[in-house]
Amino acid sequence: DQQVKQNSPSLSVQEGRISILNCDYTNSMFDYFLWYKKYPAEGPTFLISISSIKDKNEDGRFTVFLNKSAKHLSLHIVPSQPGDSAVYFCAASSRGSQGNLIFGKGTKLSVKP
Amino acid sequence: EAEVAQSPRYKITEKSQAVAFWCDPISGHATLYWYRQILGQGPELLVQFQDESVVDDSQLPKDRFSAERLKGVDSTLKIQPAELGDSAMYLCASSGRTSGMKDEQFFGPGTRLTVL
């Protein structure tokens, strides 16, 4: 049973437009959420995180929104650039855990020039 | 910039053979993780170390997998014997988190294992 779900395997966006990647979770004990970006043949790279005490965190072109009541988070990339083309993983960890991350299956983002 | 180092980057082996992967975390990071990522899936935790101690190996198939971090720095993950279903990317990550604190994990480039 997947605790972190990324229901869109892929997303295609035009350069300069907004990319919105979605993530749903089922475990109400999750209190820390992260987004990672992964290029082929490389390990995941940390992008941005959010604690459950917040509903928004922004870092440059990247913003993560958290809706705890809906158990939903999203990553917004504005404006999207071709270099953003990668697989994006949503991950979560729970209070009281050892920091173990539960990952979604990923969404492949393609930004077309 | 400090990075997590892993070797080898690629490994091809035949089933029933033994394989070993090595990881050197970012200097000073006490926590080290080994993940397995099957194609089309997200990474799944195999084992977590805090310094030299295992704090979570509940998802490690202990009949064939073993992991150690003897001096609390670098770590080795071993599979013996390898099976066809072990073909995957093996990722090592480290973090500087201490108990009760949240911190992002930094990943190495991974080892791509192919079992024939």
* pLDDT tens, N- to C-terminus, chain A (113 residues): 789 999 999 999 999 999 999 999 999 999 999 999 999 888 999 999 999 999 999 999 999 999 999 999 999 999 999 999 999 999 999 865 667 899 999 999 999 99
More confident residue, A107 or B105: A107
| Interface with A, mutate which of B102, B103, B106, B112 (most A CBs under 10 A) | B102
Half-sphere exposure of A94 (CA within 13 A, CB side): 11
Angstrom distance (rounded) from CA A106 to CA A37: 9
- At A96 the pLDDT is 57
- At A48 the pLDDT is 94
- At B100 the pLDDT is 46
Angstrom distance (rounded) from CA B47 to CA B67: 8
Count the residues in chain B.
116
Q: Is the pLDDT of residue B97 over 90?
A: no
Tell me if chain A has a CB within 8 Å of the CB of B3.
no
- At A94 the pLDDT is 85
**Rounded mean pLDDT of B70-88?**
95
Q: Which of B48, B99, B108 is closest, CB to CB, to A43?
A: B108
Q: In the structure, what pLDDT confidence band is assigned to residue B63 with cuts at 50, 70 and 90?
A: very high
Distance from the B33 Cα atom to the nearest Cα atom in chain A, whole angstroms = 9
Binary contact (B50, A36; C-beta < 8 A):
no
Q: Is the pLDDT of residue B13 over 50?
A: yes
Q: Indicate the SS3 state at residue B53.
A: strand
Structure tokens given for B108: 């190495």
Q: Which of B43, B91, B95 is closest, CB to CB, to A99?
A: B95
